[in-house]
Structure 1
Amino acid sequence: MDVETSCDAGVLELTLNRPAKKNALTEAMYQALVEGLSRAEADESVGAVLIRGEGGVFSAGNDIGDFIAAVQTGRGLAAADFVRKLATFPKPLVAAVDGLAVGVGCTLLLHCDLVYASPEARFSLPFVDLGLPPEAGSSLLLPRRVGLARASAWLLLAESFDAQEAKDAGLVNAVVAAPDLPAFAREKTRKLAAKPRAALMESRRLLRGDPSELAAHMEEEFSAFMSALHSPQTQAIFAAFLAKSK
């Protein structure tokens, strides 16, 4: 399974397990993630969710070939369903990031309440270089989280950054040695799951503010993203990327 699901001590754990492809996300993986989050939301025994990657990498973002095939065949983009689910998910989300966190592998972290990373973690938001605007609400959430100047460098210049910079900026809560990261993140997620549920969820809701603003911004992003995706310039960039990867 490219997405493994397990449940223990009130924590539902979603593990990206496609290390040979750097955990690049396919339509099927997005669907599995949505199903996992839906299960966690409905299951009263689940108090929090942990997302992590296997094989020394978190996620290289979209599997470009699979993504383009989905667009060309007119299938609904499961990636959009996934980020919408993240934005409306009512229970705490925790991420453990080891290795690469690229594209949506990075923007999904903005929907997490706690993010822990190994010293080897490397973050990148290469949307502009691919001829695309940001997604997953990142053009709203990232400047809120790290400030406009840093968000501009990361999104407009597409400059990658390491775990320490991510921590200094406020994207990451703590940097933890890679061998200790899964257990550390599980412990923190279990602590969240053991808290009084109603108070925890209400506190989380208040911290996040008006959800309608994020929802409207994400729809605006999605419209801009899809428009750019069909532009000749972006299609040429993707064609060159696919040719290079063969």
Structure 2
Amino acid sequence: MFDQPGKKNAIDAPGWEVLAKALVDFEADRAARVLVLTGAEGEFCSGADLGGGITGSAESVASKLREVGDIIARLHAMPKPTLAVVPGVAAGVGLSLALCCDVVVAADRARFGAIFARVGLTPDGGASWLLPRLVGAARAKELVLTGRVIDATEADRIGLVNRVVATKDLVTIGDDLAEQLAACSPVVAAESLALLDASWTRTFDEALAAEVDAQQAAVAARPGKDS
């Protein structure tokens, strides 16, 4: 959980370290089936805490962003289901973190913004890759260049989130969705996520071939089935 409510859960340097360790621990824990990202006190994450490391010379900023990029790459490539439960603002790299998750459920009061340009920055945290794939190139360019913050209804309409629910029901629905994701076989989840993520760079015939390998792994992992 992102927990710096005085700054709408902006992530400072120690926060990135905590997130990095949490991702490593989650991936290594065979009993952990689904990762849920959310934020404290009615917000998700307002981005990077600019007083906590993403400042200084161009070189120092680039160095820090490479570290952050490694963390976000691990989240995006996680071989287990990931769920973002967004109660409020998800902006800047906070938006990137939400969109890196496999499924995003948002409260009706949630807000989303690629606000990088507002502080003289370009998209980071994978936003330049994620946004066009989710909402199309033209919408992505508008959101990035204007820094416009959109509400949950618009986010749902343009495909930025999976679903929007009443704020009062967010925790209950988020918990229920996490249980559904956790019920998926670990092998099926990992193979399915790998197939879907790789679909952007494969031909149709390559996808068909990869599906054979994935299905073989899934069948072999069934309880009581011969490999």
**Same fold per TM (> 0.5)?**
yes
Matched, 1:26 2:15: no
Answer with 159-168 or 177-186: which moved more: 177-186
Q: Distance in 2 between matches of 1:208 and 1:107?
A: 16
Give deviations 1:100-134, integer Å, cap 9, x for gaps.
11101101122111101111111111112322221
Q: Distance in 1 between matches of 2:95 and 2:162?
A: 14
Match of 1:44 among 30, 36, 39: 30
1:146 matched residue in structure 2? 135
Matched, 1:80 2:80: no
> What is the TM-score of this pair, normalised by structure 1?
0.74
1:121 matched residue in structure 2? 110
Letter of the structure 1 residue corresponding to residue 190 of structure 2: M
1:27 touches 1:79 (CA, 8 Å); kept in 2?
no
Give the match's secondary structure for 1:67: coil
Give deviations 1:139-187, integer Å, cap 9, x for gaps.
1221111111211111112111010111111111111122221221121
2:153 matched residue in structure 1? 164
Letter of the structure 2 residue corresponding to residue 49 of structure 1: L
Q: Distance in 1 between matches of 2:146 and 2:106?
A: 23
2:34 touches 2:178 (CA, 8 Å); kept in 1?
yes
Q: Distance in 1 between matches of 2:19 and 2:158?
A: 28
CA, structure 1 residues 70+93, in 2 after alignment: closer, same or farther (shift >3 Å)? farther
- 5+ residue gaps, structure 1, are 1-14, 214-246
> What is the TM-score of this pair, normalised by structure 2?
0.80
CA, structure 1 residues 31+210, in 2 after alignment: closer, same or farther (shift >3 Å)? farther
1:137 Cα deviation from its structure 2 partner: 2.0
2:89 touches 2:111 (CA, 8 Å); kept in 1?
yes
Give the match's secondary structure for 2:53: helix
CA, structure 1 residues 209+193, in 2 after alignment: closer, same or farther (shift >3 Å)? same
Answer with 116-125 or 70-79: which moved more: 70-79
Q: Distance in 2 between matches of 1:137 and 1:212?
A: 17
Identity fraction in percent: 37
Letter of the structure 2 residue corresponding to residue 29 of structure 1: G
2:218 matched residue in structure 1? none
Letter of the structure 2 residue corresponding to residue 56 of structure 1: G
Bigger fraction of residues in strand: 1
Cα-Cα RMSD:
2.2
- Greater radius of gyration (CA): 2
- 5+ residue gaps, structure 2, are 203-227
